[in-house]
Amino acid sequence: MNFFDSLIRDVSLLTEKLPYKDFSCSDELWQDVGYSQVILQRDTAFELGGTGFNLVTSEPVSDGITLIGDDLDSIGDNRKFARVSLVQIEDEQDQQKAYNLIRKIEYVKYHHFPEGYMIRTSSRSHKEAVRVAKSAIKKGITFRKIGSLLINKYKENPAVKGVRVIYITAEDADYGKLEALAQKNNTITETLNHVMNSVKFDCDSCNLKPVCDEIEGMKELHFKSAAMREM
């Protein structure tokens, strides 16, 4: 399942010239409170607004956290932000199983609740907004700790073999291009949904045809899925 590999390369090209820090997974996991918490404005240290998305691949990914910009304990005011999770899965030949796995991986971001780190996201959007509590800053919250927690959440699925979570807070990062990559990621996922679930096969009238033409293997998957429905 390598439909997202071109986006992984694009993320790398976009960030490779920016200073970064790599961290191994922390043994000191940040607490997951297990429910969607509400952090009031008066209890908020700052807010991060931007985008968050997963890129799934069968190519090797080493576990860890990459930070581009300031860590949570060094941010003093609201700023733009991005999270990109590179998730390695087994090289699944059954495309339906691979597709189902991508959906399960997407499910993780809605069931991930770090203490003092309120995440607002939507199934219809790649937007991701974060509100960080003053109490969490005092307790020593860092991207390494919450990233390690997130990696553990992904790896609860035995088909997930490696995860690299990239957090970006650098003020000179190109958030417009990151937003565009997140939107393209959504479009590829939408096309996969269409290919795997649609009973229609009129490519000429399909508004997703440009994606099938661009992404290697998508058109072949579409023909294969259509053939299986006709059996």
166 and 68 Cβ atoms separated by less than 8 Å: yes
CA 137 – CA 145 distance, rounded (Å): 12
Q: What is the CATH number of domain 5-173?
A: 3.30.1650.10
pLDDT at 229: 45
A 10 A CB-CB count for 227 gives: 10
Radius of gyration of the chain (CA): 18
Specify the 3-state DSSP secondary structure of 49: strand
pLDDT at 231: 47
pLDDT at 119: 94
pLDDT at 141: 96
- Parts of the chain with a pLDDT under 70: 1, 92-94, 123-124, 194-231
pLDDT at 190: 77
Tens digit of each residue's pLDDT (9 = 90 or more) over 34-57: 998 999 999 999 999 999 999 999
DSSP letter for 205, please: G
* CA 153 to chain CA centroid, nearest Å: 13
pLDDT at 227: 44
Query: Rounded to two decimals, what is the model's pTM?
Result: 0.84
Question: What are 42's two structure tokens?
Answer: 């008066």
Q: Is 65 exposed, middle or buried (0-12, 13-18, 19+ CB in 10 A)?
A: buried
CA 61 – CA 223 distance, rounded (Å): 30
For the chain, give every domain's residue range. Answer: 5-173
Question: What are 185's two structure tokens?
Answer: 């990621």
pLDDT at 90: 85
β-bridge partners, 49? 80, 129
β-bridge partners, 122? 125
Dihedral sign of CA atoms 93, 94, 95, 100 in order: negative
- Nearest residue to 177 via CA among 9, 2, 10, 5: 10
HSE-CB for 29 with a 13 A CA cutoff: 12
